[in-house]
Amino acid sequence: MASDDDEMKVMIGLEVHVQLTKLHTKMFCSCSSDYRGKEPNTVTCAVCLGLPGTLPVLNKRAIEFATLLGIALNSKIQESMFFFRKNYYYPDMTKNFQITQYDKAGGVPICVGGELTFTTGKNERRVVHFRRLHLEEDPGKLQYEGSITTSPYVYVDYNRNGSTLVECVTEPELRSPEEARAFLKKLRSIIEHVGIADLSLEGSMRCDANISYKGHARVEVKNISSMKEVERALNFEMMRQKQKIKSGVEIVQETRHWDEVRRVTISLRTKETEKDYRYFPEPDLVPVTIDAKELKRIKALLPELPDARVLRFVKQYQIPAYDAEVLVDSKSMADFYEAAIKMFNDAKDVSNWLMGDVARRLNEDNLDISETKISPKALVQMLQMIKDGTITGKIGKTLVKDMLDGTMPADLVKKQNVKRIDDEAILQKIIDEVFAENENVVKEVKEGKNPRTFEFLVGQVMKKTKGQADPEVTRALIKKRL
Ligand SMILES: [Zn+2]
């Protein structure tokens, strides 16, 4: 008999939709691909709306970008391919079909296979394989008021319609929601290093996930809008399936929707198969060829990728591999780091601050450093002030939040009048005050009953100076005074 562990083995596969936001125009027309923040339904044309008499023209750079990503992920780039129509009705798509690629009926996606190596939270190296990477157009966007189930109406905005997506389909090799998050983090870093998308943009990286327990039916969860939501959605869906299986109810093969507002998955449709989409070759587009010469040209465009960058950081800046990996996990963080150490000659100090106080703040607000206003110059200015003794490290920590909002640390120090106080005359005066106000405590310290009372006195000096007193000088002065 199988053990309980075998029986509850979960298999997770992801379909990651990456919008190639660095393309200037949409996939088949000359509309700007920069539609975010624009008035709804203003970034459209007859082609991306699919009006009668119009024909799509393929954006050549879309092929180049997808090829670059395929090379970065060790996929096999196809020499020749064509597009398919996936037919279905949904209000976010005016044509009633989506132009995509298909791996059956003689079709091949632009990239076949591939793999990604990443490190889990438990510091385990894992490899996840890709089934394929294919190109397709993005549909428009439906907007609900609050939850999809309770919204009294739905708006449709076609601005996104026709933007370029690369869909990265993995094998069901992920074993937990945490692994899925670590995998996506690495994928994001690779994509940003390749330079084909800015994934801090809203909706630029979206996921569908298929989840099944060994021996049970597979459920697909659609519309997970960001990397942050993936872990949540997977955790919920695993719990739902586990409860069913344990109480003897069979899992139904179905497609479910992730409701971000209520944080539950809800059933959308069952018994849907590929057949229902009536895939057929797109007759309005010619086949695409990427010959050896073209492939060589594109390969030469590939910039430094995360794994190579980690190795270079270790060698060039003499920092531990762990630090290098954490920094390179986000391209903007790694860029920030390199800009900072050009101005400040202590590579380890800079990485300590970035991985410590800065990263902590970013994690709290779920932000990437590129989404804040801190500059490498600001960080370096603060480190310089600590180094030359203008402020204490403790004060530095209190400045990080405002620095992330764009204020320079020197201005903060001036405004808040926070400076390291090591002037013995000033500190002596404050210590006199503390001693006068805490006669009983001073007596206790002198009697040596409770060593913690000494730290209480240090704390009182800190409190009176708002953390600016140099702790070493303060301790020495109190000892002397006792
Ligand atoms: Zn258009």
3-class secondary structure per residue, 321-386: HHHHHHHHCCHHHHHHHHHHHHHCCCHHHHHHHHHHHHHHHHHHCCCCHHHCCCCHHHHHHHHHHH
In this predicted model, what pLDDT tens digit does every residue of 185-215 receive, in sequence order?
A: 999 999 999 999 999 898 999 999 999 999 9
DSSP percent split of the chain into helix, strand, coil, nearest 5: 40, 20, 40
CATH of the domain at 468: 1.10.10.410
Q: How far is the CA of 65 from the centre of ligand 1 (A)?
A: 20
Mean pLDDT on 388-401:
87
Least confident of 309-318, 330-339, 385-394, 401-410: 385-394
Q: Do 67 and 146 reside in the same domain of the chain?
A: yes
Given a contact cutoff of 8 angstroms between Cβ atoms, the answer to whether 383 and 349 are in contact is yes
Least confident of 31-45, 65-79, 233-247, 422-436: 422-436
Q: Do 84 and 150 reside in the same domain of the chain?
A: yes
Q: Which of 299, 319, 336 is the last residue of a domain?
A: 299
Q: Do 332 and 457 reside in the same domain of the chain?
A: no
Closest to 28 measured CA to CA, from 49, 52, 58: 58
Q: What is the DSSP letter of 122?
A: T
For residue 319, pLDDT beyond 60: yes
Mean pLDDT on 243-249:
92
Separation CA 157–CA 178 (nearest Å)? 33
pLDDT of residue 35: 95
Q: 3-class DSSP state for residue 74?
A: coil
Q: How far is the CA of 49 from the centre of ligand 1 (A)?
A: 7
Higher-scoring residue by pLDDT: 447, 208: 208
Q: Do 218 and 105 reside in the same domain of the chain?
A: yes
Query: How far is Cα of residue 315 from the mean position of the Cα atoms in its chain?
Result: 26
Q: Do 277 and 243 reside in the same domain of the chain?
A: yes
Q: Which of 274, 299, 324 is the last residue of a domain?
A: 299
Separation CA 194–CA 315 (nearest Å)? 22
Separation CA 135–CA 83 (nearest Å)? 9
pLDDT of residue 1: 41
Mean pLDDT on 85-96:
91
Q: How far is the CA of 139 from the centre of ligand 1 (A)?
A: 12
pTM of the model: 0.85
Separation CA 127–CA 116 (nearest Å)? 6
pLDDT band at 7 (very low <50, low <70, confident <90, very high): low
Q: How far is the CA of 83 from the centre of ligand 1 (A)?
A: 18
Q: Do 391 and 449 reside in the same domain of the chain?
A: no
Which two structure tokens, joined as six digits, stand for 212?
A: 């099944």
Residue written as token pair 């992801």: 14
Closest to 479 measured CA to CA, from 458, 450, 452: 458
Q: How far is the CA of 148 from the centre of ligand 1 (A)?
A: 28
Q: How many domains is the chain partitioned into structurally?
A: 3
Q: How far is the CA of 289 from the centre of ligand 1 (A)?
A: 24
Least confident of 104-108, 232-236, 247-251, 254-258: 104-108
Q: Do 117 and 204 reside in the same domain of the chain?
A: yes
For residue 349, pLDDT beyond 50: yes
Q: How far is the CA of 102 from the centre of ligand 1 (A)?
A: 23
Q: Do 387 and 429 reside in the same domain of the chain?
A: no
Mean pLDDT on 41-58:
95
Q: How far is the CA of 4 from the centre of ligand 1 (A)?
A: 54
Q: How far is the CA of 41 from the centre of ligand 1 (A)?
A: 11
Closest to 168 measured CA to CA, from 219, 115, 120: 115
In this predicted model, what pLDDT tens digit does every residue of 248-305 receive, in sequence order?
A: 999 999 999 998 888 999 988 776 677 788 899 999 999 999 999 999 999 999 999 9
Q: Do 97 and 241 reside in the same domain of the chain?
A: yes
Classify strands 80-81 and 288-289 as parallel, antiparallel or unpaired: antiparallel
At a CB cut-off of 8 Å and minimum separation 6, what does 62 contact?
20, 23, 27, 135, 164
Q: 3-class DSSP state for residue 391?
A: coil
At a CB cut-off of 8 Å and minimum separation 6, what does 482 contact?
442, 445, 446
pLDDT band at 54 (very low <50, low <70, confident <90, very high): very high
For residue 5, pLDDT beyond 70: no
Percent of the chain at pLDDT exceeding 70? 98
Q: Which of 361, 382, 416 is the last residue of a domain?
A: 416
Given a contact cutoff of 8 angstroms between Cβ atoms, the answer to whether 97 and 91 are in contact is no
Q: How far is the CA of 45 from the centre of ligand 1 (A)?
A: 4
Q: Do 162 and 238 reside in the same domain of the chain?
A: yes
Q: Do 433 and 380 reside in the same domain of the chain?
A: no
In this predicted model, what pLDDT tens digit does every residue of 141-168 receive, in sequence order?
A: 988 888 877 889 999 999 999 999 999 9
Q: What distances in angstroms separate CA 256 from CA 126, 140, 240, 264, one per listed residue?
A: 28, 20, 12, 10
Q: How far is the CA of 28 from the centre of ligand 1 (A)?
A: 7
Q: CA 375, 326, 302 angle in degrees (round to 5)?
A: 80
At a CB cut-off of 8 Å and minimum separation 6, what does 65 contact?
20, 22, 23, 164, 166, 194, 196
Q: 3-class DSSP state for residue 170?
A: strand
* Structural element, H or E, at residue 167: strand 164-170
Q: How far is the CA of 32 from the centre of ligand 1 (A)?
A: 8
Q: What is the DSSP letter of 88?
A: -
Q: Do 347 and 369 reside in the same domain of the chain?
A: yes
Domain that holds residue 85: 4-299
pLDDT of residue 467: 77
Burial class (CB in 10 A: 0-12, 13-18, 19+), 46: exposed
For residue 11, pLDDT beyond 90: yes
